């Protein structure tokens, strides 16, 4: 699916909560990893947006990028965190491994930190969306610091999940449990 930007350029759009080609909720861990890839793309877009606004101001491209980043982190990211909190983390905690338990506790805390940082980052992005074309409104140092912290926490978080937590949860969950997870992930996103 693609849409035109205000400047008439066609861009691909991956709507939050909608399947990616080849990866669906019937394969929950592959879907979670695909979500991580989308998170990384949105973090990259956020970084490019910062640089673009500093150089070009709040033009049409900045507006479009801000809207895309806000849509993803407003809609898809909370569902992804919910998937992990409800299905992945409990499976790992059931293993009763002290090191993994501490890691899961840290990841849960990071979800809260991400949520708090997102509220601050979103305010800056909403301002970009509301500015007139070509208005130069650079981000404050505090906003840039929040963006840096937001990107950094996500990168480390994803590394821990994909490197340790997801593989352990995969080993722990049986096919029937995976099927239940798939159905619940689909239902949360408005599917049947």
pLDDT at 138: 80
DSSP secondary structure string, the chain? -EEE-TTS-EEE---TTSPBTTB-TTSHHHHHHHHHHHHHHHHHHHHHHHHHHHHH-B-HHHHHHHHHHHHIIIIIHHHHHHHIIIIIHHHHHTT--HHHHHHHHHHHHHHHHHHHHHHHHHHHHHHHHHSPTTB--PPPHHHHHHHHHHHHHHHHHHHHIIIIIHHHHHHH--HHHHHHHHHHHHHHTT--
pLDDT at 163: 96
pLDDT at 134: 59
pLDDT at 151: 98
> What parts of the chain have a pLDDT lower than 50?
1-23
pLDDT at 57: 86
pLDDT at 27: 84
Can you give the pTM of this predicted structure?
A: 0.83
Domains of the chain and any CATH numbers: 28-188 (1.20.120.520)
């Amino acid at each position: 699916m693609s849409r035109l930007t205000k400047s008439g350029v066609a861009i691909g759009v991956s709507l939050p909560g909608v399947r990616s080609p080849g990866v669906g909720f019937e394969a929950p861990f592959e879907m979670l990893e695909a979500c991580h890839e989308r998170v990384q793309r949105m973090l990259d877009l956020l970084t490019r947006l910062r640089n673009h606004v500093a150089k070009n101001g709040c033009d049409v491209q900045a507006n479009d990028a801000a809207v895309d980043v806000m849509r993803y982190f407003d809609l898809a990211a909370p569902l992804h965190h919910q998937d992990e909190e409800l299905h992945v983390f409990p499976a790992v905690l059931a293993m009763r491994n002290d090191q993994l338990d501490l890691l899961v506790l840290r990841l849960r805390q990071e979800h809260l930190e991400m949520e708090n940082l997102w509220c601050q980052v979103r305010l800056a992005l909403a301002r970009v969306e509301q500015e007139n074309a070509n208005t130069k409104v650079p981000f404050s140092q505090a906003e840039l610091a929040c963006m840096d912290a937001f990107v950094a926490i996500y990168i480390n978080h994803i590394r821990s999940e994909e490197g340790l937590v997801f593989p352990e949860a995969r080993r722990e969950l049986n096919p029937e449990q995976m099927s239940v997870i798939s159905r619940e992930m689909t239902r949360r996103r408005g599917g049947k």
